[in-house]
Amino acid sequence: MIGVIADDVTGATDVAAALRRAGLRTLLVLGSEIPDDAAPADGIVIGLKTRSLPAAEAVTQSLAALSALRGRGADRIYVKYCSTFDSTAEGNIGPVTEAVADALGVDLVVTTPAAPLHGRTVYRGHLFVGDVLLAETHMRDHPVTPMRDSSVPRLLAAQSAGRVGLLPLETVRQGADAVAEAIRTARADGIRHLVADAAEDADLAVVAAAVDGEPLVAGSAGLVGAIALRDTVSGSTAPAPPAGRTAIIAGSCSRRTLEQIDRFVSTGAPAYRVAAEPGDSADDLAARALEWWDRQPADSAALIYSSSPASERRDDVPGAGELYERTAGLVAAQLADRGIRRMLIAGGETSGEVIRSLGTVVAEVGEEVAPGAPWIHDAASDVHLILKSGNFGDQDLFVEVARQGGSA
């Protein structure tokens, strides 16, 4: 069984979608403990909230997740991180990978953030987003993890104790046997992290064949998806979301989420912007949003969002990001109490707060509405959720999800 340790909630749903796409019966667990009564699965993805944590804390949580996965029979472990790496010299991708490797007795880990499905490719160790080097994209000015270097080996070496090597594309294109030989050579040379180039899904398939049987691999959803395609599949039993009113809660400020909001609003559908004033609490903001919600037509999808472009963000509300996240969680919990069973959540931190407020512990993964954005079903509360990374989905995603529920 494949066991995945993911460093945030939307990243976990992305990789869970990749396993589900390959035909594996997949469970998404939100937290480091797997309930005893969790359904059988071919793959279990544990979604943590460690991406921006100090390395020591991230290591502790990741090792707890490893223990839980091994306790459920996972014999292949995958450390999942973001396809834009999202980690500076003080980051924890290297330390977490090395700690998991030590726990498993593994001396070398093949790793790559490449995910061609999402436009992420690696060549000569440099990470591209579409045709643009990572350091030249909007990620250069990310408020938490500004990505000022596009070289994955350099980024990883800056935060790792072990040596970092490169598996170049020309070797990958020679086939799985050549890659396996390169892995043996790197291991003999004392390499701890071997970063694989990959420009196409076929490249990931070659790497997946070469690491077949390895107890630990790391990277984005791209490589683990290729690994999953080599597995025997059981098929999904996740129920489809019911028809009905859809609540959309957006906290991501990514360009794509802002486009999705603009598109939804342009249709004339109900939309409410959460905008804090100095002194506002999350309870205040949630109460106002819910009062607005209750005045909307009972059969209409509606959007509640705090997302905004950088030019519109205020600096006179301390801790605004955390305030908006708590507000989103309160709103989602109250909407569930009102009987809303379909929710689309946009943004990693927002999604993490929503599932915490809903008390979601384990969910079965269903069909994708966009690459990397599947429906998940929390059977305990009978809520169906899409936990969407900010950059995922096309401009019409919000409109289409609302329409599919019959409430556009």
What is the model's pLDDT at position 318?
A: 81
Tokens of 127: 């990470």
Q: Are residues 322 and 178 in the same domain?
A: no
Judge whether 329 lies within some domain: yes
Judge whether 331 lies within some domain: yes
Judge whether 239 lies within some domain: no
Q: Are residues 174 and 262 in the same domain?
A: no
The answer to whether residue 119 scores a pLDDT higher than 90 is: yes
Domain CATH number, residue 223: 3.40.50.10840
| Domain carrying residue 150 | 2-228
Q: Are residues 147 and 200 in the same domain?
A: yes
The answer to whether residue 236 scores a pLDDT higher than 70 is: no
Q: Tell me the per-residue pLDDT of 180-231, one tens digit each, with 9 for 90 and over.
A: 999 999 999 999 999 999 999 999 999 999 999 899 999 999 999 999 999 8
Judge whether 328 lies within some domain: yes
Q: Are residues 209 and 287 in the same domain?
A: no
Q: Are residues 284 and 181 in the same domain?
A: no
Give the integer Cα–Cα distance in Å for 396 and 336. Answer: 25
Judge whether 235 lies within some domain: no
Residue 214: partners with Cβ closer than 8 Å, 6 or more residues away: 76, 106, 110
What is the model's pLDDT at position 407?
A: 65
Judge whether 240 lies within some domain: no
Give the integer Cα–Cα distance in Å for 89 and 248. Answer: 35
Listed residues 179, 202, 228: the one ending a domain: 228
Please tell me whether the overall predicted TM-score, pTM, comes out greater than 0.85 for this model.
yes
Give the integer Cα–Cα distance in Å for 175 and 189. Answer: 21
Polymer length of the chain: 408
Q: Are residues 290 and 378 in the same domain?
A: yes
Q: Are residues 267 and 167 in the same domain?
A: no
Give the integer Cα–Cα distance in Å for 32 and 61. Answer: 7
| Spatial CA neighbour of 102 closest among 125, 72, 77 | 77
Judge whether 391 lies within some domain: yes
E strand or H helix at 177: helix 176-188
Q: Are residues 272 and 173 in the same domain?
A: no
Domain CATH number, residue 298: 3.40.980.20
Q: Are residues 224 and 255 in the same domain?
A: no
Residue 216: partners with Cβ closer than 8 Å, 6 or more residues away: 76, 77, 78, 79, 97, 100, 101, 104, 106, 109
Q: Are residues 134 and 163 in the same domain?
A: yes
Q: Tell me the per-residue pLDDT of 270-322, one tens digit each, with 9 for 90 and over.
A: 999 999 999 999 999 999 999 999 999 999 999 999 998 877 877 778 888 89
| Number of independent structural domains in the chain | 2
Please give the backbone phi and psi of residue 353, each rounded to the nearest 5 degrees, phi first. Answer: -70, -35
Tokens of 106: 């593994």
Judge whether 266 lies within some domain: yes
- How would you classify the pairing of strands 246-250 and 342-346? parallel
C-alpha triplet 182, 186, 190: angle, nearest 5°: 170
Q: Are residues 105 and 211 in the same domain?
A: yes
* Region 27-31 average pLDDT: 91
